[in-house]
Amino acid sequence: MSFHHSSIRIFLYFCAAMTGKKKNTLSRLILWRTRHIPPRQFIIFLSLIIGMLSGLAAVILKNIIHLTEHWLTQGLHVEQSNYIYFLYPALGIFLTWLFVRFVVRDNISHGVARVLYAISKRGSILKPHNTYSSMVASALTIGFGGSVGSEAPIVLTGASLGSSIGRWLHLNYKHRTLLLGCGAAGAIAGIFKAPIAGVVFTLEILMLDLTLASIVPLLISSVTAAVVAYFLMGQGVLFNFNITDPFLLKDIPYYILLGVFTGLVSFYFTKISMKVESTMSSIGNVWLRLLTGGLVLGLFIFAFPPLFGEGYTTVRSLLNGNVYTLVANSPFYFLKDYTGWFLLYVALIFMLKVVAMAVTNGAGGVGGVFAPSLFTGGVSGFFLSRLLNLIPGIEVSDVNFSLVGMAGLMAGVMHAPLTGIFLIAEITGGYALLIPLILTATVSYLTIVYFEPYSIYTKRLAKRGELITHDKDHAVLTLMDWRREIEKDLLTVRPDDTLGDLVKTISRSRRNLFPVLGKDESLLGVVMLDNVREIMFNRDLYDKVKVRDLMVSPPRYIYMTDTMETVLRKFNESGAWNLPVLNRDKYVGVLSKSRIFAAYRRVLVQVSEE
């Protein structure tokens, strides 16, 4: 059967399943697919469907945000807009909180981190509400002026679409993860109309393995999503900018300097955002947290209007040469006539953007760091170019530095230099700046990894040992849940039991290890069969020897809070084949090295390619 006819047949089954016209349609689909369509061909078809859905989701979200922002700000005059900007973001955060608290009833912030967590610890399964909840919440937050981005919510939406389809069709972990990646790639490709960037984002940030079996579905999803976005939103992209200033070889040292500068700004971005969010979350009273976040964000936007919303309008103005839009509608508009003070104002904009973003998320808003990093990179690149141009004999392009600065910030904040390079190249319509993009992104990445080994997406997960990586061994260990391998059927004894009682217990057991428990079920020690073998048949000792005389302390204890790496280290250091598991001091069961090895093998088969 050809792929064309197979696709039509599958599509008809999908339609029937969705409309409920066929009984047990899903079971029939799965059975028919298993018999007639190879897994790889089926995944390719699903990647096409997921690309269409994620591209459509990206278009819907961008239009909702644009229409909301346009509706709220149309007709505003310069003398009144500041006061409106002061109120809107707080209202958006409050509405978002209401939606999350009473409708979703789940934490949906930090979308990319949630996708990474799902891959690492939840078998690539995302909750069904993620297919829509983050879109609605981020539309409320950003549409009303919250200083965050829409990319992370749409990535979570696309990934959830892929995950849900994989789960609905009962696919295994490997294929479910691939479909999740297809959804994420389609989301980025759709929102930026940048298919290559979508694929690279998935490989670089979600850390999927680069193989032929994975790259083809990712490409199909990305291209499909981009085509959907082109079809529904036209040819224009976020910046719709054609490069006019050529790259000059003499500017190479300045682009290297830009890489160092954006790397340092990225370090500031990561540290400050986490610090501010932590401070906001420490405010226990939710009303006080909402009020504090709304007031702080309102004050920032009142003084610095470019902090309103995602900031793409400001970046677009910079690229078109309208640099003084940075101070438009601001109380500090007069600073445009003073070069030094104007540059200080610009520096405050890209430094406070980080704080505004973290306050928005910390107060209860929903959004990502993608757009803020592009905004910060564009403004910081412009700042450095203006600073260099003050030096006699140096003349660099403000526009090129803004564009390349965006790639530098992405490379630093997200630890994703390739994503930054290809995204800026695609949204500007060519590769005229490929060399400076590579230079700046690489130097920025090398600069930040000297101070911070993890990206803003992975830092929290890595700290908890919940981050999957390209290292296959570490990936398997991260995916393993050793708590499922605890053996709780071992027969236990009491310290006051006699040797005779112990022998009776041994006769009923198939194991050679016997935990000794106190009255409060705490573990006092263990009795090894090898330690009693010589005396267990001496009946004269049955009433004279107590279990407390025979028990020994285990070489190590495993606690329920231990990570997989800690468990393995304890086995290696002790040389034991079995170790007891405790919940604080209470006995839970026994973990054996053989069970760990068997579980490792099972997970390795799941994550390995066919």
CATH number, domain of 506, equals 3.10.580.10
Looking at the domain assignment, is residue 155 inside a domain? Answer: yes
Give the percent of the chain with pLDDT over 70.
85
Looking at the domain assignment, is residue 575 inside a domain? Answer: yes
Q: The pTM is what?
A: 0.76
9 and 91 inside one domain: yes
pLDDT on residue 79: 43
Looking at the domain assignment, is residue 238 inside a domain? Answer: no
pLDDT on residue 3: 47
* Domains in the chain, number: 3
333 and 283 inside one domain: yes
343 and 298 inside one domain: yes
Closest CA to 301 of 7, 538, 81: 81
**Contact indicator for 465, 564 with CB cutoff of 8 Å:** yes
201 and 146 inside one domain: yes
Q: What is the largest CA-CA distance in the chain?
A: 104
Domain stop point among 439, 465, 491: 465
- The helix or strand, by DSSP H or E, that contains position 322, with its residue range, turns out to be none
No. of helices (H) and no. of strands (E), the chain: 25, 5
pLDDT on residue 52: 95
139 and 220 inside one domain: yes
Report d(CA 312, CA 304) in Å as an integer: 15
Looking at the domain assignment, is residue 472 inside a domain? Answer: no
- The helix or strand, by DSSP H or E, that contains position 101, with its residue range, turns out to be none
| Alpha-carbon torsion (360, 363, 368, 369), positive or negative | positive
Looking at the domain assignment, is residue 397 inside a domain? Answer: yes
3 state DSSP class of 523: strand
Label residue 38 exposed, middle or buried (CB < 10 Å: 0-12, 13-18, 19+): exposed
Q: Count the Cβ atoms, other than its own, within 10 Å of residue 599.
A: 18
Distances (CA, A) of 116 to 110, 232, 362, 411: 10, 30, 20, 18
CATH number at residue 360: 1.10.3080.10
Looking at the domain assignment, is residue 490 inside a domain? Answer: yes
pLDDT on residue 521: 83
Closest CA to 55 of 169, 206, 158: 158
Where in the sequence is the domain holding 71, given as residue range(s)? 3-233
Q: Over the range 229-242, which residues count as b (16 or more CB within 10 Å of their CB) and which as e?
A: bbeebeeebbbebe
- The helix or strand, by DSSP H or E, that contains position 355, with its residue range, turns out to be helix 339-363
500 and 445 inside one domain: no
Looking at the domain assignment, is residue 471 inside a domain? Answer: no
3 state DSSP class of 592: strand
pLDDT on residue 155: 93
526 and 456 inside one domain: no
442 and 524 inside one domain: no
pLDDT on residue 23: 46
Domain stop point among 465, 487, 516: 465
Looking at the domain assignment, is residue 240 inside a domain? Answer: no
Domain stop point among 177, 208, 233: 233
- The helix or strand, by DSSP H or E, that contains position 226, with its residue range, turns out to be helix 212-233
553 and 411 inside one domain: no
255 and 217 inside one domain: no
105 and 171 inside one domain: yes
Helix axis angle for 286-303 and 252-281, nearest 10°, is 150
157 and 306 inside one domain: no
pLDDT-flagged residues of the chain (< 70): 1-36, 73-85, 209-210, 234-241, 462-480, 603-610
